[in-house]
């Protein structure tokens, strides 16, 4: 079998109704995986008819466990998980309300932690190895203005990747992450559609362009495939070189 093939695997991708999550899920499908899509509400009309889809609010206390249970009920062969669901709710630090901070951490950190816990428990009970990809961000390494809660949550995601890799290695479950840089998604359209902002980042990003969701798919395929069977606890930065140079082109 080709080392990058996922034809013998089944994956759940959270937050896969749009943006990066949708591109990741479609990329896993193209690599041969059977994929369960997920969103908070109804499936998007862009999904092919018959595509497995589960709706679920990961902010609910039992949301992560319920989603994993439903995914295994629908696809008992499940052995891959992509924790992509997350969002940005920030504002200026000095006026940020506790509820906003808690919502950010709850969705971006707590939900993923307990998703992986529930997923790992199911795999261990079945005596099955597996692999997890956590979608973090370059914000987990570099701060951004008016992004203190989000940056904090993504920094936690980086360490979660490493500590869960250690916790689950004895059970044959690998945990890795990807850290996208500036990617065009519905979440940041307000920024990536401003000509002056685009010009600024085109000079800062070594590859000369803002990324697309499809740019992230190959990294996830690699980390979930046999090609990375000796890789765990690592975060692959997918940013076109945004965080490599200090200044960028003048």
| Residues tagged active-site | 137, 150, 154
Q: Strands, E, within 111-244: which ranges?
A: 130-135, 173-180, 235-238
Burial class (CB in 10 A: 0-12, 13-18, 19+), 45: exposed
Residue 181's nearest CA partner among 248, 105, 243 is 243
**CA-to-CA distance for 14 and 48, rounded, in angstroms?**
17
Query: How do 34-39 and 53-55 pair as beta strands?
Result: parallel
Residue 138, number of CB atoms within 10 A of its CB: 20
**CA-to-CA distance for 89 and 104, rounded, in angstroms?**
6
Enumerate residues 6+ apart whose C-beta is below 8 A from 223. Answer: 131, 133, 174, 176, 177, 178, 231, 234, 236
Helix 214-224 with 19-30: angle, nearest 10 deg: 50
């Amino acid at each position: 079998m080709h080392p990058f093939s996922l034809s013998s695997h089944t994956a759940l991708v959270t937050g896969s109704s749009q943006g990066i999550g949708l591109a990741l899920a479609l990329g896993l499908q193209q690599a041969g995986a059977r994929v369960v899509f997920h969103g908070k509400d109804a499936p998007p009309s862009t999904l092919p008819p018959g595509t497995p889809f589960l709706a679920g609010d990961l902010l609910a206390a039992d949301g992560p466990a319920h989603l994993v249970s439903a995914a295994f009920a629908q696809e008992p062969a499940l052995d891959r998980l992509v924790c992509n669901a997350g969002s940005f709710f920030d504002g200026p630090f000095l006026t940020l309300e506790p509820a906003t901070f808690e919502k950010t951490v709850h969705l971006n950190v707590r939900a993923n932690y307990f998703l992986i816990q529930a997923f790992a428990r199911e795999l261990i009970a079945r005596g099955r190895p597996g692999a997890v990809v956590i979608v973090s961000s370059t914000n987990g390494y570099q701060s951004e203005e008016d992004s203190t809660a989000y940056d904090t949550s993504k920094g936690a995601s980086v360490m979660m990747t490493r500590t869960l890799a250690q916790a689950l290695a004895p059970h044959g479950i690998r945990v890795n992450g990807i850290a996208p840089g500036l990617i065009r998604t519905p979440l940041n359209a307000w920024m990536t559609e401003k000509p002056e902002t685009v010009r600024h980042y085109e000079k800062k990003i070594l590859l000369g362009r803002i990324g697309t969701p499809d740019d992230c798919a190959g990294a996830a395929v690699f980390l979930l495939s046999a090609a990375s069977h000796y890789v765990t606890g690592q975060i692959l930065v997918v940013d076109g070189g945004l965080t490599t140079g200090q200044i960028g082109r003048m």
